[in-house]
Chain A
Amino acid sequence: MDPFIFFSLLQDGITTGAIYLLLAIGLLIVFSVTRVIFVPQGDLLAFGTLTAAGLQAGRLPGTLWLLDALAALALAHSLFQGRRAALRGLLCWGAYPLVVTLLARGLAPLMLPAASILLTLAIVTPLGPLIWRFAFRPVADASVLALLILAMALHFVLVGLGLVFFGPEEASAPTLSDASVAIGNLSVSGQSLWVLGCCALLVILLRWFFGATIHGKALRAAASDRLGARLCGIDTAETGALAFGLAAFIAALAGVLIGALTPLSYDAGFEIGLKGFVAAIIGGLASFPVAAAGAILVGVLESVGSFWASAYRDVIVFTLLIPVLVWLSLRTGTAEDRA
């Protein structure tokens, strides 16, 4: 392998690694706040790519109708919950989808990349809280296992919807930049820089959110002790919705970013999400910087692995888990009891 190829593989790997890191963050937020292992996050990522691709092609994507339908259900539900809930429902699930739908109708035919991307974020992000509301909130106190199985079933629902909305073809999201930066005779693509930049920005924003805002602190409180948080007046149904909203936003953003580099089909999200899991597992053992390094490592291994033995690419990535786990099992004694 000459250095040129190696460099481009490395660049690919770091870029996809940054995406995995974003997903890992989303997973950790949702899991720690609601105990849901949010498998369908990868499917939302695919929704992000394909929604942006559809808007960019001048079509109104099926995800928009999904948003409208779920929001209408939520609105109908909230109208029976008293005045305050009804008002909020009208705002969140009445006015917001209406505005987004009208904007999409107006802007989609113009096929502006920036508009497509922003609309995609506006469409996919509220799907998170809606999923929480209809799938998980009714059984929020079930066991982690039941919630995980529910998440798996939801994954099949989203994949099924993806096929109905977008068909089996692959599609690309619009690029944010076609430029490339030359360093010597090596070139760095502008899109890669966008990915890394967005990733870094998001990490900084989340840090600020969790450290300095009341909502972020409420999320942290709910994560460390749900009952305690409830006793302090924190509405854990609200924090759940917020966590799912954050995860959906992260997924949509990741989908828009990665979708410009690699075309994705409706069912491609699951494996990408799983690699986010791998990064989260590695990170869950140690600390945030280790998670970041783990995510980059997964991305680089995958990209180098696909160059050498493309058929075994996924085997290589998932086998990477084994040494980490061996280390883990040597480090801890008896597995801990559930509280």
Chain B
Amino acid sequence: MTQGRHLLAVVVAVLAIVAVPGLLPAFYVTLFGYVGLAALVALGLVLLTGISGQTSFGQASFVGLAAYATTLLTKFADMPSVVGLLAGLAVTGLTAWLLGLITARLSGHFLALVSVAWGLSFFSLFGTLPWLHGFNGIGNIPPMGLGGLMAESRRIDLAVIIAAVALLMVMSANLLDSRMGRAIRTLNGARLMGESVGIDTVRLSRTVFVIAALYAGLSGFLFAHFQRFISPTPFSLGASIDYLFMVIIGGAEWLWGAPLGAAIVVVLRDQFNDWVPRLTGQAGNYEALVFAIVVIVLLQRAPEGLLALFARAPRRPPRRPPPSSEAAKIAPPAVAAAPVRVTQPGPELLALDCISRRFGGLLANQDVSFAVHAGEIVALIGPNGAGKTTLFNVISGVLEPSGGRVRLFGETSSHEPTRRIAARGLARTFQHVKLLPSRSVLENVALGAHLSGRAGVLRAMLRLDRSEEASILAEARVQAARVGLDHVLERPAGDLPLGQQRVVEIARALCLRPRLLLLDEPAAGLRLAEKQNLAALLRQLRAENMGVLLVEHDMDFVMQLADRVVVMDFGQKIAEGPPERVQADPAVMEAYLGGVV
């Protein structure tokens, strides 16, 4: 079945590459060429904007950088076009990397505005630098060539362009279906979660930015040799905006949105330039206006792109299972579960030494000290606002403590970023569930195994990561089965009930093979049977010598499970000890019951 489909895809691709350029009338060869060139840039933008959530209004600058680089080398220095290609990619890649140093930390709309700024700056440079010949442009650019073969005909250029689009589509699809692809998806609004499973989100967003720029650079190289003439105009801010129009109109979250949007925008512009002057009797006044109005209407009808209209519906499973089957989703843990890293029983995993954390005038944690040992379940309880989640964030490196010391696995961990702490063996879940809601449960769980892989972006694109990917997914399946999610692996995580989503987070955390597990309200939203299964799972983890620190409001759950309970109120630890003793503690009673008793 899949082999047949692969064969079919290859046949279609070869036909497209050979037949389309060979048979089309000359006018359509040119039009198709521009669609393909735009699709390359748009494809990069799908990765950058649609998937990783970074908006760039500067992609045309990258196209221009590569176009000018190859033009200068092939026309004025008589270099072969391969050198022009490599130089073009090098220039765009390097520029993007340098810009990325500044912009990779910026969130959504900041980056968008900054990219407008550099888009204008580059355009202005293209127009003013004397050796780029300004707005007169540079003509007679030599055609592409390889060895002695020169692509004298635009039909050959078009074949190369279609091949490039097909190649990058496949490589991008490979990338998204990999460890790095899953990591890239966390950049879009779930960076904290990404860091918690060990992803260096700042570096990764820079990488995606460079990839998108390289796609644009390839388009620029092909553009210069396809058109044989360049001037600053096609690299203006307006062109960058057109690329974004393409992506948004086509569907920013889908790779196919790029060629679809490119075709729509290029063809519409071409048609309007043809028809509108005939209707109005004036050239140059109304085309852009009509085009922009059409864009607005398209955006209003389908703000997530045209593909969203088709793709949304079938991605959700047609029927939800009846509510009765939702109960007891967490299977009792299988005894012969996967081997988990085992440490000696009893040693101290985590020690908090007088931790304080303030937010402006608010003291969320004040001089909190306690320890968690291997093979021990410690519960952290306290009324709402007692500072429990803040403490979790301090332990996992999301927040720096204002005072005091965190010792994790025997070493001080203050000033360490979350992802390093994760790599050292601390996994956590979140009070407000952080998942990729549109991705499958399996993919979400596999995110937790990110650190067990090595393959980077390039290996993923070239499909050289398959054995590693298989072992990551196998691990994800094991952990998912362990918490009882094996029958919903393919469902979008966002479709599960909230309690089940928390369980997905636990499975993801287990994929890190942690020595210490932090669970923030894991039992909230679970049914009684599910809670009992969760308790059984945690007991088993304890038996395997894992340390567990959990925040929980369900007192029955806490008291039957925990070895020790730490009680917090108003940022301070007010009691610590075995459950029975804490339950009888007058300070605890006062905190919970307001001193009436």
Which residue numbers of A lie inside 8 Å of B, CB to CB?
A: 37, 135, 138-139, 142-146, 148-150, 152-157, 159-161, 163-164, 271, 274, 277-278, 281, 311-312, 314-315, 318-319, 321-322, 325-326, 328-329, 332-338
Counting from the closest, the 3 A-B pairs by CB-CB distance are: A160-B289, A156-B292, A318-B117
Given A150-B296, A160-B289, decide whether A311 and B105 contact each other with a Cβ distance below 8 A. Answer: no
State the CA gap A142–B252 with chains docked (Å): 13
The smallest C-beta distance from A125 to any residue of chain B, in angstroms, reads: 22
Q: Is the interface of A mostly helix, strand, loop or mixed?
A: helix
B248 at the interface (CB under 8 A from A): yes
In the bound complex, do residue A314 and residue B121 qualify as a contact, i.e. CB atoms below 8 Å apart? yes
* Closest residue on chain A to residue B419 by CB atoms: A334
| A residues near B110, Cβ cutoff 8 Å | 281, 325
| B residues near A336, Cβ cutoff 8 Å | 107, 191
In the bound complex, do residue A314 and residue B124 qualify as a contact, i.e. CB atoms below 8 Å apart? yes
In the bound complex, do residue A135 and residue B296 qualify as a contact, i.e. CB atoms below 8 Å apart? yes
In the bound complex, do residue A277 and residue B113 qualify as a contact, i.e. CB atoms below 8 Å apart? yes
Binds A, one of B159-167, B299-307, B338-346, B467-475: B299-307
Given A37-B109, A149-B245, decide whether A318 and B118 contact each other with a Cβ distance below 8 A. Answer: yes
In the bound complex, do residue A152 and residue B291 qualify as a contact, i.e. CB atoms below 8 Å apart? no
Contact size range, B = 35 or more
B102 at the interface (CB under 8 A from A): yes
Cβ 8 A contact of A143, one of B128, B285, B293, B303: B303
In the bound complex, do residue B299 and residue A146 qualify as a contact, i.e. CB atoms below 8 Å apart? yes
Given A156-B289, A160-B292, A161-B289, decide whether A274 and B303 contact each other with a Cβ distance below 8 A. Answer: no
- Which residues of B, 261-304, contact A by the 8 Å Cβ criterion? 285-286, 288-293, 295-296, 299-300, 303-304
The smallest C-beta distance from A228 to any residue of chain B, in angstroms, reads: 17
Cβ 8 A contact of B120, one of A274, A328, A337: A274
State the CA gap A277–B110 with chains docked (Å): 10
In the bound complex, do residue A157 and residue B201 qualify as a contact, i.e. CB atoms below 8 Å apart? no
In the bound complex, do residue A144 and residue B108 qualify as a contact, i.e. CB atoms below 8 Å apart? yes
Cβ 8 A contact of A139, one of B118, B120, B300: B300
* Chain A proximity mask over B21-49: 1 for CB below 8 Å, otherwise 0: 00000000000000000000000000001
Given A149-B248, A164-B289, A335-B105, decide whether A138 and B300 contact each other with a Cβ distance below 8 A. Answer: yes
Q: In the complex, how many residue pairs between chain A and chain B have their CB atoms under 8 Å apart?
A: 137
Q: A145-B108, A146-B248, A150-B296 are in contact. List 13 more A-B contacts (CB 8 A).
A: A142-B304, A145-B248, A149-B299, A150-B300, A156-B295, A157-B292, A311-B128, A315-B124, A326-B102, A329-B102, A335-B201, A337-B191, A338-B53
Cβ 8 A contact of A160, one of B128, B189, B288: B288
In the bound complex, do residue B295 and residue A153 qualify as a contact, i.e. CB atoms below 8 Å apart? yes
Given A37-B113, A334-B195, decide whether A153 and B245 contact each other with a Cβ distance below 8 A. Answer: yes
In the bound complex, do residue B245 and residue A329 qualify as a contact, i.e. CB atoms below 8 Å apart? no
**26 A-B pairs in the complex with CB atoms less than 8 angstroms apart:** A145-B108, A145-B252, A148-B109, A152-B241, A153-B295, A154-B296, A156-B291, A156-B295, A159-B288, A161-B289, A271-B120, A274-B120, A281-B110, A281-B113, A311-B128, A314-B120, A318-B120, A321-B114, A325-B114, A326-B102, A334-B195, A334-B201, A335-B107, A336-B107, A337-B191, A338-B53
| B residues near A322, Cβ cutoff 8 Å | 102
In the bound complex, do residue B285 and residue A335 qualify as a contact, i.e. CB atoms below 8 Å apart? no
State the CA gap A149–B247 with chains docked (Å): 10
* Closest residue on chain A to residue B238 by CB atoms: A156
Cβ 8 A contact of B112, one of A37, A135, A328, A333: A37
In the bound complex, do residue B296 and residue A153 qualify as a contact, i.e. CB atoms below 8 Å apart? yes
User: Most chain-B Cβ atoms within 10 A of its Cβ — which of A149, A154, A281, A318?
Assistant: A149
The smallest C-beta distance from A156 to any residue of chain B, in angstroms, reads: 4
The smallest C-beta distance from A214 to any residue of chain B, in angstroms, reads: 29
State the CA gap A69–B23 with chains docked (Å): 48
State the CA gap A176–B569 with chains docked (Å): 64
State the CA gap A138–B298 with chains docked (Å): 12
In the bound complex, do residue A139 and residue B117 qualify as a contact, i.e. CB atoms below 8 Å apart? no
State the CA gap A223–B362 with chains docked (Å): 24
- Which residues of B, 346-393, contact A by the 8 Å Cβ criterion? none
The smallest C-beta distance from B275 to any residue of chain A, in angstroms, reads: 16
- Which residues of B, 106-144, contact A by the 8 Å Cβ criterion? 106-110, 112-114, 116-118, 120-121, 124-125, 128
In the bound complex, do residue A277 and residue B296 qualify as a contact, i.e. CB atoms below 8 Å apart? no
State the CA gap A312–B103 with chains docked (Å): 23
| A residues near B107, Cβ cutoff 8 Å | 335-336, 338
B244 at the interface (CB under 8 A from A): yes
State the CA gap A268–B299 with chains docked (Å): 26
Given A139-B303, A157-B289, decide whether A277 and B116 contact each other with a Cβ distance below 8 A. Answer: yes
B55 at the interface (CB under 8 A from A): yes
Cβ 8 A contact of B285, one of A145, A157, A163, A274: A163
B202 at the interface (CB under 8 A from A): yes
B190 at the interface (CB under 8 A from A): yes
| B residues near A159, Cβ cutoff 8 Å | 288
In the bound complex, do residue A150 and residue B114 qualify as a contact, i.e. CB atoms below 8 Å apart? no
The smallest C-beta distance from A32 to any residue of chain B, in angstroms, reads: 12
* Closest residue on chain A to residue B295 by CB atoms: A153
| B residues near A321, Cβ cutoff 8 Å | 114, 117
- Which residues of B, 229-264, contact A by the 8 Å Cβ criterion? 241, 244-245, 248, 252
State the CA gap A335–B53 with chains docked (Å): 12
In the bound complex, do residue A150 and residue B299 qualify as a contact, i.e. CB atoms below 8 Å apart? yes
State the CA gap A274–B104 with chains docked (Å): 21
| B residues near A164, Cβ cutoff 8 Å | 285-286, 289
State the CA gap A323–B426 with chains docked (Å): 36
Cβ 8 A contact of B244, one of A149, A154, A328, A334: A149
| B residues near A271, Cβ cutoff 8 Å | 120
Given A148-B112, A152-B244, A156-B292, decide whether A312 and B105 contact each other with a Cβ distance below 8 A. Answer: no
State the CA gap A334–B201 with chains docked (Å): 8
State the CA gap A160–B287 with chains docked (Å): 8
B192 at the interface (CB under 8 A from A): yes
User: Most chain-A Cβ atoms within 10 A of its Cβ — which of B53, B192, B288, B296?
Assistant: B296
